[in-house]
């Protein structure tokens, strides 16, 4: 049935078709994927428009195998007005790109809708002290591991399942709304469609920080929690998960949360023992900053993780700390005189 559409919705359909053509290009970048994720998550109308164009391209993909020239398809538009009403409003450049990429874009549409080809995949990635690793997953998603981190990756036919077992990782997710991308942690799960977010497991809590798009964070379901809560977390927001469940969603500083990706540690009025705890993740020789004399000291600044030992020495010098060590394999003990 033909339905009238507002100019605003027609514009969304045009934008959706342009995104499909762009995502099909060999030159598509990670930044393009992030911008697409932001566009898709703006509203339900954006999602609806994208779904409609994907359905249209499926039909166009089938039409591409019929014995028709492009001109014949063009002349047939009036008899298939539902199929082509958005297409007639495309500019010359957009229309040319669409026809030029007809078969390829139709294939992309099919892949995005059905998840085909369903790539199955199973691997585990881990980093040692001071190491970082960047992994390109088979669906185009990117995984970045910080120091002392372990991630298991299992792609099934219906789901992309990952488990962050320890440490910290950044996930840049390739869109596929029919094949959820779910990261499990001890206290629950983080689900995304096409977005980017950071997960940091520290002490007995997990911190989820979203840098692009939207994720759904859900508590773990078990006998003690048969009705787990969930939170929708947007860009520049974060939420904590611990043994008590989900905390409240709050704002955070994007640069600080993912500074580790640039091998940088940013401290903002942090207690010195906590700062040393962060630095310990990168140090080959552990440091004990639990002495009561350090409790009142606070530190701010930007420090390089390229040489964490030098950063530690700078903190020792700045605060005029004394150090002791019983044996080479023992921790270095700090105190403030």
Give me the pLDDT at residue 235, please.
93
SS3 content of the chain, % helix, strand, coil (to 5): 35, 30, 35
Of the ranges 52-61, 79-88, 177-186, which one carries the lowest mean pLDDT score?
79-88
CA-to-CA distance for 314 and 10, rounded, in angstroms? 59
Instruction: Give domain status of residue 150, yes or no.
Output: yes
Peptide bond into 117 cis (omega under 30): yes
What percentage of the chain has pLDDT greater than the value 90?
Answer: 51
Bridge-based pairing of strands 150-155 and 121-126 is antiparallel
- Residues in Cβ contact with 200 at an 8 Å cutoff, skipping those fewer than 6 apart: 146, 167, 168, 206, 207, 209
In order of 136, 149, 294, 326, 332, the CA distances from 309 in angstroms are 30, 20, 19, 19, 12
Q: Are residues 37 and 70 in the same domain?
A: yes
The yes-or-no verdict on residue 192 having pLDDT over 70 is: yes
- Residues in Cβ contact with 129 at an 8 Å cutoff, skipping those fewer than 6 apart: 147, 148, 281, 282, 283, 284
In order of 76, 78, 171, 200, 230, the CA distances from 151 in angstroms are 52, 53, 11, 12, 23
Give me the pLDDT at residue 114, please.
40
Q: Are residues 108 and 69 in the same domain?
A: yes
pLDDT per residue as tens digits for the range 225-249: 778 899 999 999 999 999 889 999 9
Instruction: Give domain status of residue 1, yes or no.
Output: no
The yes-or-no verdict on residue 275 having pLDDT over 80 is: yes
Token digits for 283?
Answer: 């140090």
Give me the pLDDT at residue 59, please.
54
Which residue reads 């089938």 in tokens? 62
Give me the pLDDT at residue 322, please.
93
Instruction: Say whether pTM exceeds 0.95.
Output: no
Could you write out the DSSP letters of every residue in 240-260? EEETTEE---EE--HHHHTGG
- Residues in Cβ contact with 38 at an 8 Å cutoff, skipping those fewer than 6 apart: 212, 213, 235
Q: Are residues 132 and 204 in the same domain?
A: yes
Nearest CA among 183, 187, 188 for reference residue 171? 183
pLDDT per residue as tens digits for the range 154-189: 999 889 999 999 999 999 999 888 889 999 999 999
Count of domains for the chain: 3
Give me the pLDDT at residue 62, please.
41
Confidence band, pLDDT 50/70/90 cuts, at residue 304: very high
Instruction: Give domain status of residue 27, yes or no.
Output: yes
Q: Look at 69 and 117; give whichever has higher pLDDT.
A: 117
Q: Are residues 158 and 53 in the same domain?
A: no
Give me the pLDDT at residue 125, please.
97
Report the number of secondary-structure helices (H) and strands (E) in the chain. Answer: 10, 20
Q: Looking at 87, 114, 141, which one is the last position of a domain?
A: 114
Q: Are residues 240 and 161 in the same domain?
A: yes
Q: Looking at 114, 131, 150, which one is the last position of a domain?
A: 114
Q: Look at 84 and 251; give whichever has higher pLDDT.
A: 251
CA-to-CA distance for 204 and 206, rounded, in angstroms? 7
Task: Specify the CATH number for the domain of residue 184.
Answer: 2.60.120.1440
Q: Which domain covers residue 140, as residue numbers?
A: 121-254
Q: Are residues 109 and 149 in the same domain?
A: no
């Amino acid at each position: 049935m033909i339905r009238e559409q507002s100019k605003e919705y027609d514009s969304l359909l045009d934008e959706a078709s342009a995104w499909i053509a762009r995502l099909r290009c060999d030159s598509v970048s990670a930044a393009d994927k992030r911008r697409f994720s932001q566009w898709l998550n703006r509203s339900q109308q954006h999602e609806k428009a994208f779904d409609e164009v994907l359905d249209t391209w499926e039909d166009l993909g089938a039409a591409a195998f019929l014995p028709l020239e492009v001109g014949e398809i063009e002349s047939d538009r009036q008899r298939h007005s539902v199929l082509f009403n958005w297409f007639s409003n495309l500019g010359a450049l957009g229309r040319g790109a669409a026809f030029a990429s007809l078969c390829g874009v139709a294939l992309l549409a099919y892949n995005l809708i059905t998840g085909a080809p369903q790539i199955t995949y199973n691997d585990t990635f881990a980093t040692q002290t001071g190491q970082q690793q960047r992994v390109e997953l088979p669906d185009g998603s990117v995984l970045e591991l910080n120091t002392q981190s372990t991630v298991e990756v299992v792609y099934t036919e219906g789901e992309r399942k990952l488990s962050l077992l320890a440490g910290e990782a950044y996930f840049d997710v390739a869109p596929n709304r029919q094949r959820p991308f779910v990261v499990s942690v001890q206290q629950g799960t983080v689900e995304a469609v096409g977005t980017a977010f950071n997960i940091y497991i520290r002490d007995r809590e997990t911190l989820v920080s979203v840098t692009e798009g939207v994720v759904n964070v859900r508590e773990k379901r078990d006998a003690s929690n048969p009705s787990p809560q969930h939170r929708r977390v947007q860009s520049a927001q974060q939420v904590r998960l611990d043994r008590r469940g989900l905390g409240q969603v709050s704002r955070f500083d994007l640069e600080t949360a993912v500074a580790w990706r640039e091998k940088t540690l940013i401290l903002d009025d942090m207690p010195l023992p906590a700062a040393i705890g962060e630095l310990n993740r990168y140090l080959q020789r552990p440091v004990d900053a639990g002495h009561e004399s350090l409790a009142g000291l606070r530190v701010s600044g930007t420090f390089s993780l390229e040489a964490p030992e030098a950063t530690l020495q700078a903190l020792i010098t700045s605060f005029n700390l004394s150090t002791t060590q019983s044996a080479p394999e023992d921790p270095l003990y700090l105190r403030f005189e």
